[in-house]
């Protein structure tokens, strides 16, 4: 064959061959993101009632993070933060949660984890709860994911008006648990595939298993190329459901039953990685979107040693369990350094070697050194606390945490009364449960943290981007 012909042909093919080689060496990423799971709801985080041997494998074979934060104590803003690496206010997704009647969503121009990896040739998929807008223009397929299968908002929301929900707090949840078929009779929650509703109502008894099976099938189909699976489970957010064959009939065991079912499904996914010989090249992150919904008692979880839960800026609302396993991560180790879900995007970008867009400011930091244990100290020394409604309320710097809680008047009778702001100062190194308010003893620390809190919030507000709104 003519060598003069081969030379230009080789030059033409070389970029494609190099690209294929790079793809083959790129690690895979799986993020398992449960809903409303408390800090104390895994055996590896101290639970004595819930057995989670499969999830605990990630602690045995990887690294446990004990000071891991979410950017909001409720669903929508927390999820926006994970995917974009931003405090929710920066991307306009900070004002509580979206509902079936909501007209906004995460702007497709935002740069998500899925966007970043897709640009590098990754196959990307989201299986589970989205809650960043149910309109076709803002579903996962518009935000970097090749495919989507799941419930677009919380599983206690009816399509399309969210009316007619069962009432009665935990007692009402008991009634639902006693009637597993209530998922088909009491709720009109939709299941989407890509941009279309394929099941209405969805049988919620099966969603945890079906999300996992979709993830397993996707991993198997893309085993020869790099992939990213975002697996945001709809549960243990209420109402709780599990498959009939594994259901404990006692409502008081509903939450335990649900977490242990999630655990068994995590086990199936991990076994798949083992079977396909992908475990050594796959990062698996297990965490949750906020703390437990305590008011639902045995249908809600436990914050363990932490104060309060979902909806609050106390540690129980925003400090969550996190386990990471993957290449270079030392097995059976613990990291107590400050980190959070907003750090996942820049960390993944660092691992894959592709820089993030310079023009799109984020708040996350590269904590890949913490993942591998190569760095002792976190690059993150501070963390900003926003309420579930998106109002600035606190800041943590090092071990010091300041909360400035403005009272909310819930009835007109007190409308004329101005209640003072409650100021809390905690030393988390000495008082993880936030029981000893040191504000009066250290006014200088209160003032320093207050100024810094407002400074950071002002910068975010000034540079905040607009979310997507429907016409």
How much is the pLDDT for 95? Answer: 92
How much is the pLDDT for 408? Answer: 74
Task: Report d(CA 141, CA 59) in Å as an integer.
Answer: 32
How much is the pLDDT for 156? Answer: 96
Mean pLDDT estimate for the chain: 94
How much is the pLDDT for 164? Answer: 86
304 φψ region: left (φ > 0), alpha (ψ -120 to 50), beta (else): left
How much is the pLDDT for 269? Answer: 98
How many Å separate Cα 418 from the centre of its chain? 36
- Model confidence, pTM: 0.94
Judged against a pLDDT cut of 80, whether residue 375 lies above it is answered with yes
Mean pLDDT score, 70-79? 98
How much is the pLDDT for 19? Answer: 43
- Does residue 313 have a cis bond before it (omega within 30 degrees)? no
Task: Report d(CA 418, CA 357) in Å as an integer.
Answer: 45
Write the DSSP assignment of 218-264 as a string of letters: HHHHTTTS-EEEEEE--TTSSSP---GGG--S-GGGHHHHHHHHHHH
Report residue 20's pLDDT band, with 50, 70 and 90 as the boundaries.
Answer: very low
Point out the least confidently predicted range of 29-43, 102-116, 196-210, 405-419.
405-419
Q: Which two tokens stand for residue 357?
A: 């867009």
Task: Report d(CA 308, CA 369) in Å as an integer.
Answer: 31
Residue 73, classed as helix, strand or coil, is coil
Mean pLDDT score, 402-426? 81
How much is the pLDDT for 414? Answer: 60
The residue ranges of every structural domain in the chain are: 26-381, 384-469
The crossing angle, in degrees rounded to 10, of helices 169-178 and 254-275 is 60
pLDDT digit string, tens, across residues 154-180: 999 999 999 888 889 999 999 999 999
Q: Are 288 and 323 a contacting pair, CB within 8 Å?
A: no
Point out the least confidently predicted range of 229-243, 254-268, 399-413.
399-413
Q: Are 170 and 191 a contacting pair, CB within 8 Å?
A: no
Mean pLDDT score, 420-448? 98
Using the CB atoms, write b or e for 103-133: b if 16+ within 10 Å: ebbbbbebbbbbbbbbebebbbbbbbbbbbb
Q: Which active-site residues does the annotation give?
A: 75, 131
Task: Report d(CA 315, CA 305) in Å as an integer.
Answer: 9
Which of the four CATH numbers 2.30.29.30, 3.40.50.10490, 3.30.1120.10, 1.10.10.10 does domain 384-469 have? 3.30.1120.10
Beta-carbon neighbour count of residue 383 at 10 Å? 22
Among residues 213, 276, 199, the alpha carbon closest in space to that of 243 is found at 213
For CA atoms 5, 11, 16, 22, the dihedral sign is positive
Judged against a pLDDT cut of 70, whether residue 128 lies above it is answered with yes
Report residue 189's pLDDT band, with 50, 70 and 90 as the boundaries.
Answer: very high
pLDDT above 70: percentage of residues in the chain: 93
Same fold, 26-381 and 384-469: no
**Fold designation for 26-381:** Alkaline Phosphatase, subunit A (3.40.720)
Q: Which two tokens stand for residue 365?
A: 């930091």
Q: Half-sphere exposure (CA, 13 Å, Cβ side) for 207?
A: 34
Judged against a pLDDT cut of 50, whether residue 279 lies above it is answered with yes
pLDDT digit string, tens, across residues 132-155: 999 999 999 999 999 999 999 999
Task: Report d(CA 307, CA 12) in Å as an integer.
Answer: 61
How much is the pLDDT for 9? Answer: 52
Mean pLDDT score, 305-334? 98
Report residue 471's pLDDT band, with 50, 70 and 90 as the boundaries.
Answer: confident
Task: Report d(CA 81, CA 344) in Å as an integer.
Answer: 10
How much is the pLDDT for 251? Answer: 98
Q: Which two tokens stand for residue 456?
A: 């950071």
Report residue 410's pLDDT band, with 50, 70 and 90 as the boundaries.
Answer: low
The crossing angle, in degrees rounded to 10, of helices 207-221 and 254-275 is 10
Residue with the larger pLDDT of the pair 289 and 413: 289
């Amino acid at each position: 064959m003519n060598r003069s012909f081969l030379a230009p042909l080789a030059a033409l093919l070389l970029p494609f061959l190099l690209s294929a080689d790079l793809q083959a060496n790129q690690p895979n990423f799986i993020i398992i993101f449960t809903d409303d799971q408390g800090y104390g709801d895994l055996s590896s985080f101290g639970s004595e009632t819930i057995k989670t041997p499969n999830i605990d494998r990630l602690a045995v074979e990887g690294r446990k993070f004990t000071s891991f934060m979410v950017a909001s104590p409720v669903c929508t803003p927390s999820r926006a933060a994970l995917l974009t690496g931003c405090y929710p206010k920066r991307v306009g997704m900070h004002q509580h949660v979206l509902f079936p009647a909501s007209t906004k969503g995460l702007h497709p121009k935002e740069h998500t984890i899925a966007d970043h990896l897709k640009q590098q040739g990754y196959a990307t998929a989201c299986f589970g709860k989205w809650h960043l807008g149910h309109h076709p223009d803002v579903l996962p397929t518009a935000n970097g994911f090749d495919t989507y299968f799941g419930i677009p908002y919380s599983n206690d929301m009816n399509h399309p008006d969210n009316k007619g929900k069962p009432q009665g707090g935990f007692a009402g949840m008991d009634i639902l648990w006693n009637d597993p078929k209530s998922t088909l009779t009491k709720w009109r929650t939709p299941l989407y595939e890509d941009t279309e509703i394929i099941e209405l109502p969805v049988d919620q008894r099966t969603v945890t298993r079906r999300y996992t099976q979709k993830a397993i099938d996707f991993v198997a189909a893309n085993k020869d190329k790099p992939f990213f699976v975002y697996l945001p489970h709809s549960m243990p957010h209420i109402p709780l459901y599990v498959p009939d064959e594994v259901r404990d009939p006692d409502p008081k065991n509903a939450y335990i039953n649900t977490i242990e079912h999630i655990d068994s499904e995590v086990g199936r996914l991990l076994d798949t990685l083992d079977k396909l010989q992908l475990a050594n090249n796959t990062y698996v992150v297990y965490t949750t979107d906020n703390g437990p919904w305590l008011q639902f008692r045995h249908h809600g979880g436990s914050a363990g040693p932490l104060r309060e839960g979902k909806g609050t800026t106390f540690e129980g609302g925003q400090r969550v369990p996190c386990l990471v396993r993957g290449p270079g991560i030392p097995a059976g180790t613990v990291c107590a350094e400050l980190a959070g879900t907003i750090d996942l995007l820049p960390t993944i970008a660092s691992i894959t070697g592709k820089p993030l867009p310079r023009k799109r400011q984020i708040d996350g930091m590269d904590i890949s050194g913490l993942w591998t244990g190569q760095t002792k100290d976190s690059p993150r020394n501070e963390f900003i606390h926003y309420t579930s409604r998106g109002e600035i309320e606190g800041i943590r710097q090092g071990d010091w945490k300041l909360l400035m809680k403005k009272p909310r008047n819930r009835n007109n009778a007190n409308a004329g009364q101005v209640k003072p702001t409650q100021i809390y100062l905690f030393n988390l190194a000495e008082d993880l449960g936030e029981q000893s308010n040191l504000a009066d003893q250290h006014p200088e620390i209160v003032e320093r943290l207050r100024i810094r809190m407002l400074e950071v919030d002002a910068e975010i507000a000034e540079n905040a981007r607009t979310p997507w709104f429907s016409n």
